[in-house]
Amino acid sequence: MRFRCEEEVKIAEALDRTSVLFFPNSKARLTTPSGRQNQEPDFLIFHQGKWGILEISHPDTEKDETRDRIFASHGIFTIHYCEAHRCSQEPDRVVREFLDILSQGS
């Protein structure tokens, strides 16, 4: 597996401890209003019959609502952003919270 930062490593280790299916930094090919494009979410996670995306927010990155709507149009409705420092300091809690959100989602 390849990771772009230490926070991703911590989240991947926490996800491993839960035994859920996840894909780190996987490329997705989507239809967007401007045509076919590649997108690469930090973590694509499958839990209890539902797909969700967990994104790590760094101070220099912004939430991409357009991209989130595109994923939602393809059936991935749960997209959760978590601050990088939380992912580093409490990855198990971040993953637990995400899985709870995903479990309750539509």
2 CB-near residues (< 8 Å, 6+ apart): 24, 25
Per-residue pLDDT of 60-74, as tens digits, reads 877 888 889 989 988
pLDDT at position 46: 96
Please report, for the chain, the start and end positions of each structural domain, with discontinuous segments joined by +: 6-104
Domain 6-104 fold is Trna Endonuclease; Chain: A, domain 1 (3.40.1350)
Per-residue pLDDT of 11-61, as tens digits, reads 999 999 999 999 999 999 988 888 898 989 999 999 999 999 999 998 887
Rounded Cα–Cα distance for residues 52 and 95 (Å): 12
